[in-house]
Amino acid sequence: MRFRYNQTIERTICPKTVAVENSPAWLIICLIKSLNDWLGLPHRVFYRHGDRQLKIGYEVLSFPTDELAENFGSLVSKIDQTWPLEVFGIADSGELIGISFAGDGDSLVMRQQSVSGVWFDELRDLYLTLLLPDTKAARCLFDLLRAVEDGRPAAAMEWEYADFLEQQHLACIDRTLSFCYVYFEQDCPDDAPLACLLSLTLEQKQKLWLLFLEKRIFPPEFEWLWDTLVNQCAPNWIEWTLSLFSVLEQLNIQFICRGSQFELLDGLGKRLYFGVDHTGAAEQVLMKILFPLNQ
């Protein structure tokens, strides 16, 4: 997204923080999380299918350009060396101002590109555009930033992104799990299973139920969920309940109770599951939803 500017003005600043060596994907996640904290509001991220570009915006009344430079200039410059990153703001007059940074270490040059050639100490509506190497990388980072936007401690990513996530040092690949999990604190937290459960979307919960009910696969995520149920701290329980009933309807499955036994029958009347004495985590979670009053 290149614009024609008549004037470029620059100033030398002393950055308060210097970007560390890490993958560009991790650095952009750190940048967005830090901007969220600095501005006091979450970002909005936009992506068009098949595109290589992400757009990230903050609708703010005002932000000081010198503080932006001191706190984030080094990080923006570091990312821009690998993935082109542009920063924009709007002046009170409505003029679009481009912001860029160059240099590293103790000295950093901040440039403002504009039509007027006026230096602005305050701008509003911070906006960033990021160009990724390919469409898959763009879609993957979009999903990651959506998870950050939603305030989730981690992101559950599809396996198609495994190579990119591993290349960017974002995930330790564990093929026993249903998804690639990315923790936003980078190091694996002590409550990693809970963070992973909190990362799951409604659609991903439906996928786990489909794996269990349709393919008879027992995702380990149900082990985590059952442990939280035992400790009475299951996150987003309503989504697990609604996603189960959605999958039961999708597969045309009905359940029939006979005394202390129950059966799950598919659309052809074939038995899928029966008995209340099964101890598998997925089965226990299933029974807890179907018979919520039973302890």
Whether residue 168 has pLDDT greater than 90: yes
User: In the chain, what percentage of residues exceed pLDDT 90?
Assistant: 73
Is residue 5's pLDDT more than 80?
A: no
End-to-end CA distance of the chain: 59
Q: What is the pLDDT of residues 119-131, one digit of tens each?
A: 999 999 999 999 9
Window from 22-26, 49-53, 169-173 with minimum mean pLDDT: 169-173
For the cut 90, the answer to whether the pLDDT of residue 265 exceeds it is no
**Cα(39)–Cα(286) distance, integer angstroms:** 43
Mean pLDDT across the chain: 90
Instruction: Using the predicted structure, report yes or no on whether residue 275 has a pLDDT greater than 70.
Output: no
179/154 Cα distance (integer angstroms): 12
160 pLDDT more than 60? yes
> Which band of pLDDT confidence, cut at 50, 70 and 90, is reported for residue 2?
low
* Sign, Cα dihedral of 100, 149, 246, 195: positive
Q: How confident is the model at residue 187 (pLDDT cuts 50, 70, 90)?
A: low
pLDDT tens, position by position, 208-241: 999 999 888 999 999 999 999 988 888 999 999 9
49: left (phi over 0), alpha (psi -120 to 50) or beta: beta
Handedness of CA 69, 71, 73, 76 (dihedral sign): negative
Report whether 157 contacts 144 (CB < 8 A): yes
CB 169 within 8 A of CB 176: no
Query: What pLDDT score does 257 carry?
Result: 76
pLDDT at 190 over 80: no
Phi, psi of 158 (to 5 degrees): -70, 155
What pLDDT, on a 0 to 100 scale, did the predictor assign at position 151? 92
The whole-number pLDDT of residue 278 equals 60
Mean pLDDT of 177-183: 96
Check pLDDT > 90 for residue 188.
no
Q: What pLDDT does residue 1 have?
A: 57
Q: What is the mean pLDDT of residues 22-42?
A: 96
User: What does the domain layout of the chain look like in residue ranges?
Assistant: 7-136, 200-294
The pLDDT of residue 255: 79
Reply yes or no on whether the pLDDT at 7 is more than 60.
yes
CA distance 76 to 81: 9
Over residues 83-97, mean pLDDT: 96
Residue 271 pLDDT class (50, 70, 90 cuts)? confident
CA dihedral sign, ordered 181, 182, 185, 187? positive
